Chains A and B, each alone.
Chain A
Amino acid sequence: MAPKKKKELDQDERFQAIVLTDSFFSRFMPLTAVTPRCLLPLANVPLIEYTLEFLAKAGVNEVYVMCSSHADQIQKYIDSSKWTHSSSPFTITTVMSLEARSVGDTMRDLDNRGLITGDFLLVSGDTVTNIDFSAAMAFHRRKKQHDKEHILTMILTPASPYHRTRSQIDSAAFVLDRNTDRCIYYHSVPPPNLPQTSVGLDPDLLEDVDELILRNDLIDCHIDICTPLVPQIFQDNFDYQLLRSDFVKGVLTSDLVKKTVYAYLTNGEEYAARVTSFLTYDAVAQDVISRWCYPVVPEVNLMPSHSYSYQFNHIYKEDKVILAQSCKIGNCTAIGNGTEILDGSSVSRSTIGRNCKIGKNVSITDSYIWDGVEIADNCVIHKSILAYNVTVHSDAEIVGSVVGHHVTVGRGRRLAVNSRLVETPIERESAGLDSFSDDERDQEVSPSVAVVVNDIDVVGVDGVGHLYVSEFEENDSEDSDSEFENTGSTDKMGTKMYQSFKLLNISDDSIASVSNKKRRRKTRRFSSNSVMSTDFERGELSEEEEDFAKEAVDTVTRSIENNHDLDTALLELNTLRMSMNVSYHEVRAATVEALTRRIGHFISTGTLGSKEATVKVFKSWGPLFNRQLFEPKDQVDLLMLLQSTCASGGYGGGFDGQVVLFWAIRTLYDDDIVEEDRILQWWNSEESAASADIRGATVRFIEWLQEAEEESD
């Protein structure tokens, strides 16, 4: 491929990075209704700054920021940021990808624009990391030399499976080749608190691998080194929506693409996390403040205007902070410029933005207070997020809640745990797609989000704000309450935070799972070859098998009724089998089912007797099995299926399972579809012997077979 070579030459000159600012999830609602996710402040710094800092260190020359939701805000932010200065290590360009409805769309848009010239770095705009990128790049180059088909290196960080920065909603298992780190398979795993399922691995994928390693303890921050082929593959497979469960899984399991994906595991000391939910927001913010991500710490002052300095006990303060003498500042706290904290108040394990006014005797613990917040006297803020310019009147208590921009909480109010407040009701139906595309999923499921206008009940007479409720959240609230009580008692600092924010997290995963479920039913838009990343239903696999069983039975029945030729029927069945990805066992089961039904039909309508019907159907359609039986044990399997189908009965009056079974086997035997050895093997199997009564009519036949065999020997 000549053009590809040219691109590889270019690669040394420029190194491009693509920043995805939109995750197309609604997990930060209602905050993301106003502010895009990548501009949410984490330790008082917009998230995207962490990502751009990483890119600067990684030696990127060109950065393209892909914007879809709140694109105007992002563009405005980038244009005024330090990265546009002449001293910036890279050129930065915002790309308006307003029509994108998924990461897949963004990638296709990228391909259409032809921006990519070589291998590039793909990150999302909510990544906080200090990994040594050069090692990852070296790994990528090395693998590329050995493996021409290598298109993607995923950078993954080992951690414990229950690590707090590891999003359990998106938890996934990677199957890697132990020797080469090649990724063999990717599959999402249900969170530990939900019913567990199993993941089926196609043995064909494992053919040339001796030792696999199965890991469910990797933090996947979606930091990928891609070759230019990646956007093209997205282009070719227009149904790919998600980077991992569609693209990676699709590439790995596809018979056509034949490309490889490698996983680079960082050494355990490096930090990488993505802010994907309230839970991870909390975890990552605490990590940054507790200096786990060194050198990415607040006093580095990623924002040019910031002036944080570090003090003992992980306390960070800007220059002009006014603290009353009697206020207490506990550990792991950051306080922004112009903020005033009055007498008797205490703050610990929290961040407070700029120009906040904290009254007297206020207690703030484990909370995130953004810029311009005013909190009056005697308030208690615990495990909550207070967005820009929130006002809290005196004696209010906010625990485990998210308070949206410009909301005012009235005097003496106590917010219910896990409430989310917004300033103005969010009009889902009328809202333009553009303004809310971060919540695009919800729109598909509309009207899944209902806004209840009960502001006075919640925020009080002197308050401004509305409760933001999504219907599934309501259903869930009882569970989450009890969970809170059970788990909230833990007293260790890290786990306490974790448990409390887990509340918010629960509603997150309910959003994900419910909306997925609904979407599945509504449209097959996401019906690429993968299962949705957050599909937790236990019956999920069998659902597909059921679908197959039904459709396959219909196919065979149709063929019989319309008297198609065998080849057509086989072709249809095979297509169905491959599209649904089921085993031949299911195909056989469906065929047996269809044939038995046909026999039942003949008998119940009185057209033919049991014997005649069976012989007729199996004579003409039994040869279908010729292409469904490959190994001796398949024949045994078929016989067993026949037996159980006949035993189940229920095919109308006069259907005699014993007779049908006997004549079916007899016909199959006469036509050399099953061999006598297999019949005997089936007969002697325990499974078959278990339901002996159905075998009545077949006994003589078996005896005859055995005799015939002895004679012939």
Chain B
Amino acid sequence: MEFHAFILCGPGKGLSPFSQQRSSGQPKALLPVANRPMIEGVLDWCEMAFFPKVTLIVNDDSEHQISLELDEYKRKLAAANKAKQTADESSPYTTDFSILNLETDFSGYVLYHLYKSGIHPYHNFVVLPCDFVTNLPPQVFIEAYRNKSDKDVGLLVHYRNTLDIEDKKTKIFPTNYTFYGESKDDDSTKLLDIYSAEDVEFHKTLKIRTQMTWRYPNTIISKKLLNSGIFFGSGDIFTIFAANPNRYTEAYFLCRPLTKIIRDLARRSWRHSKLQETIAFLIIPDIATFYRINNTPVLMEANRSVLQQQAIQKSQSGVLPAAREKNAANVGIDSLIGDNSVLGERTNVKMTVIGKNCKIGKRVRLTGSLVMDNVVIDDDVSLENCIVGSDVIIHSKSKLTNCNVEAMHEVVNGSHFKGETLLSLSLEGIVENGMETATSEEDSSGSDDESDDYDDDVEYDDNADGLFDY
């Protein structure tokens, strides 16, 4: 069974101010996890899956950067393959990577594109987000898909959060009411319906259709399941689309996220007098690691979990840190420093990732933070649980705790912040809802005044891929 894989490189609404929601941001797919763009993890996973064809779906803003990254990745891959090949004579299996620019706000359009252009020569496809991290091999998913019943036209994957993040007001992990149940014909789990919490809140009621209770008398409704964004589909879906051309119009796909379309298909399966094609449903087992980096707390946590593993590996392998000079910077085994970064005397780095070409001054304390590339940190700065965007300058004696600092920002001498998001002043702040304007790369100084209401706006529709936007 061969799949054509599509990786959706979305805008990263939840990752503002580091994503391209802000003009200074990078494409979400390129945000670093332990100094590697997160997309590389996904591409590695695709390599493991032996997908013959992988297409990255990008938009105008991110196309250039992502294609550069993809070339870089291909180069690395070729090098690795070459090295492997010399050791092992088996023929190298190559994946065909490509990039496709689809300018759309909603992931559902991808499905329309597939519907119209076809997925020839393969009969199956898989849609992946660019932001997931898992230790579960792709074969598990493929096997689940292969075991689906004939009636299933797809397989949607959900997961439960296993990260230990305090989630007040369920902002990090949006609540959805996911309905799933076992089919009496073939004991496999089916997706039946999804409602978002906002929808339920708006109507002040959770609707349960009685038709469904007859079809699936033993339905489970979970509030804890999160959408993994991974969807395995078969070409049969397009037959359904083609059979109902009035319903599945271009407009239908243009304004719906992918999950909503799958939800509609799932509803369709039981609401008719005759049972229709169903959507299989897979929940990632709790023992596996799976999470999606679609907001800043998870980005932080993702980096940390890599660091933790690194620390465990290092301590197990028994490699002791080389003896260092008395005043040299202290870098814990649970930290990672990028190439060409310089650390000053008596600087202490714990549980922190530092990107490339950073200049860290003396007596700096970095704890549990993520520092991206080209950052300059002056003496006596203390950062705790902060994410610092690239090209940021933090002047001496600043103390930041639980802060996010947007790229290009300059933090003045002796600033003290707790739990703030420090944004660069740019023209886009003026425009409603952070719509993209002409890229204003103006560096700003003294922009310590917060544009709070702007931030609120971002959080208001802070649900991953805008799954349930109205």
Q: What residues make up the interface of A, taking CB atoms closer than 8 Å to B?
A: 158, 160-161, 173, 175, 178, 187, 189-190, 192, 196-203, 206, 209-217, 583-585, 632-633, 677, 680, 686, 709-710, 713
Determine whether the beta carbon of B206 is less than 8 Å from that of A189. no
Determine whether the beta carbon of B210 is less than 8 Å from that of A213. no
Chain B window 199-217, contacts with chain A (Cβ cutoff 8 Å), 1 for yes, 0 for no:
0111111111111011001
Determine whether the beta carbon of B208 is less than 8 Å from that of A196. no
Determine whether the beta carbon of A203 is less than 8 Å from that of B205. yes
Chain B residues with CB under 8 A of A199: 207-210
Restricting to B186-232, which residues have a CB under 8 Å from any CB of A? 197, 200-211, 213-214, 217-224
Determine whether the beta carbon of A211 is less than 8 Å from that of B221. yes
Determine whether the beta carbon of B217 is less than 8 Å from that of A178. no
Chain A residues with CB under 8 A of B177: 206
Determine whether the beta carbon of B220 is less than 8 Å from that of A198. no
B165 contacts the other chain (CB 8 A): no
A11 to chain B minimum Cβ distance, whole angstroms, is 34
Determine whether the beta carbon of A203 is less than 8 Å from that of B208. no
Determine whether the beta carbon of B219 is less than 8 Å from that of A213. yes
What are 16 contact pairs spanning A and B, CB under 8 A? A161-B214, A175-B208, A187-B208, A198-B209, A199-B209, A199-B210, A201-B206, A201-B208, A203-B197, A206-B177, A210-B222, A211-B220, A213-B221, A214-B208, A214-B221, A713-B430
Which of A211, A680, A686, A709 has the largest count of B CB atoms less than 10 A from its CB? A211
B21 to chain A minimum Cβ distance, whole angstroms, is 18
B184 contacts the other chain (CB 8 A): yes
User: How many interface residues does B have (CB within 8 Å)?
Assistant: 31
Which of B179, B214, B222 has the largest count of A CB atoms less than 10 A from its CB? B214
Determine whether the beta carbon of A160 is less than 8 Å from that of B184. yes
Determine whether the beta carbon of B224 is less than 8 Å from that of A211. yes
A186 to chain B minimum Cβ distance, whole angstroms, is 12
Closest 6 CB pairs of A and B: A217-B217, A216-B213, A200-B205, A201-B206, A196-B211, A216-B217
Chain B residues with CB under 8 A of A197: 209-210
Q: What residues make up the interface of B, taking CB atoms closer than 8 Å to A?
A: 177, 179, 184, 197, 200-211, 213-214, 217-224, 255, 430, 432, 460, 470
Determine whether the beta carbon of A214 is less than 8 Å from that of B205. no
Q: A211-B221, A677-B432 are in contact. List 18 more A-B contacts (CB 8 A).
A: A161-B213, A161-B217, A189-B213, A200-B205, A201-B206, A202-B205, A202-B206, A206-B223, A209-B223, A210-B224, A212-B220, A214-B179, A214-B221, A216-B218, A585-B202, A680-B432, A710-B430, A713-B430
The CA of A553 and the CA of B26, in the complex, are separated in Å by 53
The CA of A686 and the CA of B251, in the complex, are separated in Å by 12
The CA of A353 and the CA of B208, in the complex, are separated in Å by 47
Determine whether the beta carbon of A583 is less than 8 Å from that of B205. yes
Of the candidates A161, A198, A632, A677, the one whose C-beta lies within 8 Å of that of B208 is A198
Q: Which residue of the partner chain B has the closest CB to A199?
A: B208
B224 to chain A minimum Cβ distance, whole angstroms, is 5
Determine whether the beta carbon of A173 is less than 8 Å from that of B208. yes
Of the candidates B205, B209, B218, the one whose C-beta lies within 8 Å of that of A215 is B218
B333 to chain A minimum Cβ distance, whole angstroms, is 37
Q: Which residue of the partner chain A has the closest CB to B198?
A: A633
| A201 and B205 in contact, given A211-B222, A677-B432 (Cβ under 8 angstroms) | yes
Chain B residues with CB under 8 A of A202: 204-206
Chain A residues with CB under 8 A of B255: 686
The CA of A200 and the CA of B204, in the complex, are separated in Å by 9
Determine whether the beta carbon of A203 is less than 8 Å from that of B432. no
The CA of A173 and the CA of B209, in the complex, are separated in Å by 11
B365 to chain A minimum Cβ distance, whole angstroms, is 38
The CA of A527 and the CA of B220, in the complex, are separated in Å by 31
Of the candidates A201, A216, A677, A686, the one whose C-beta lies within 8 Å of that of B214 is A216
A253 to chain B minimum Cβ distance, whole angstroms, is 12
Chain A residues with CB under 8 A of B210: 173, 189-190, 196-199, 216
Chain B residues with CB under 8 A of A216: 210, 213-214, 217-218
Of the candidates A196, A215, A709, the one whose C-beta lies within 8 Å of that of B217 is A215
Chain A residues with CB under 8 A of B203: 200, 583, 585
| A160 and B217 in contact, given A173-B210, A201-B206, A583-B204 (Cβ under 8 angstroms) | yes
Q: Which residue of the partner chain B has the closest CB to A684?
A: B432
The CA of A216 and the CA of B219, in the complex, are separated in Å by 9
| A192 and B208 in contact, given A583-B203, A633-B202, A680-B432 (Cβ under 8 angstroms) | no
The CA of A203 and the CA of B202, in the complex, are separated in Å by 10
The CA of A710 and the CA of B437, in the complex, are separated in Å by 14
| A213 and B220 in contact, given A173-B213, A633-B202, A677-B432 (Cβ under 8 angstroms) | yes
Chain B residues with CB under 8 A of A213: 218-221
The CA of A46 and the CA of B21, in the complex, are separated in Å by 75
Determine whether the beta carbon of A584 is less than 8 Å from that of B204. yes
Chain B residues with CB under 8 A of A585: 202-204
Chain A residues with CB under 8 A of B204: 202-203, 583-585
The CA of A548 and the CA of B399, in the complex, are separated in Å by 58
Determine whether the beta carbon of B430 is less than 8 Å from that of A200. no
Q: Which residue of the partner chain A has the closest CB to B200?
A: A203
A6 to chain B minimum Cβ distance, whole angstroms, is 41
Chain B residues with CB under 8 A of A189: 210, 213-214
Chain B residues with CB under 8 A of A200: 203, 205-208
Chain A residues with CB under 8 A of B430: 710, 713
Q: Which residue of the partner chain B has the closest CB to A204?
A: B204
Chain B residues with CB under 8 A of A680: 432
A159 to chain B minimum Cβ distance, whole angstroms, is 9
Chain A residues with CB under 8 A of B211: 196
The CA of A158 and the CA of B217, in the complex, are separated in Å by 10
Chain B residues with CB under 8 A of A209: 223
Determine whether the beta carbon of A217 is less than 8 Å from that of B218. yes
A689 to chain B minimum Cβ distance, whole angstroms, is 13
The CA of A178 and the CA of B181, in the complex, are separated in Å by 13
Determine whether the beta carbon of B207 is less than 8 Å from that of A214. no
The CA of A381 and the CA of B300, in the complex, are separated in Å by 78
The CA of A680 and the CA of B457, in the complex, are separated in Å by 14
B254 to chain A minimum Cβ distance, whole angstroms, is 11
The CA of A203 and the CA of B214, in the complex, are separated in Å by 23
A105 to chain B minimum Cβ distance, whole angstroms, is 30
